[in-house]
Amino acid sequence: MIYLIVGCELVFWGLVLAGFVVRYGCKKRKLSSWILSLVFFVDSLLLFFTIWDIKQGNQATFSSTIGPFYLGFSFMWGHRMITWCDRYLLYKLGQGKAPKYYLPVERKQRKRYEWQNFLLDSGSILLTGILLLFCVYVGGGIHKRTLPFIESFQTLGFIAVLLLGIDLSYIVFPSDLAKKKR
């Protein structure tokens, strides 16, 4: 299973790289968008391999739980990540302006931005939890073979407390970016 995870990870980053090479090297924006959309397919494929492995009667391991985590977080944050990479590459290739400080300076816009992050993190955690439960269901319920998926809820809980705690701290106690403006 670990080889499938590593393989999917390599294909994931290969598609991201290929998408940007096609976009900026070949100047084919539509083709690059299509290639970049395949990244989600690779994430889904990793989850499919995880489910297939369980359905074959194999014991789930910690590495089996990576698929639901990977898909849950990349589904929610993937578009923002690709957009950020796109802007940064435009700048580095001399085809765009220097990326501005990405955090909004105005208090109202900053709160909106932080709430968006909170909702994206909440969605990631919720989707990951649903995918973990789906893997348990497909694996035939709670038993020894699917125990790593149940145990991974502790990790998901830790991530939830950490991410949502940080997000809420920025919402409740916003820093005054106007003073720190570059």
54-72 per-position pLDDT tens digit:
888 888 888 888 889 988 9
User: What pTM does this model have?
Assistant: 0.81
Q: Are 93 and 33 in contact (CB under 8 A)?
A: no
Report yes or no: 132 and 65 within 8 Å, Cβ to Cβ. yes
Taking every pair of C-alpha atoms in the chain, what is the biggest distance, in angstroms? 59
Domain that residue 62 falls in = 2-180
Which of 14, 23, 49, 19 has the alpha carbon at shortest distance from 37? 19
- For residue 177, pLDDT beyond 60: no
Number of independent structural domains in the chain:
1
Catalogue the E-assigned strands of the chain.
none
Determine the pLDDT at residue 94: 78
Q: What is the pLDDT of residues 153-162, one digit of tens each?
A: 999 999 999 9
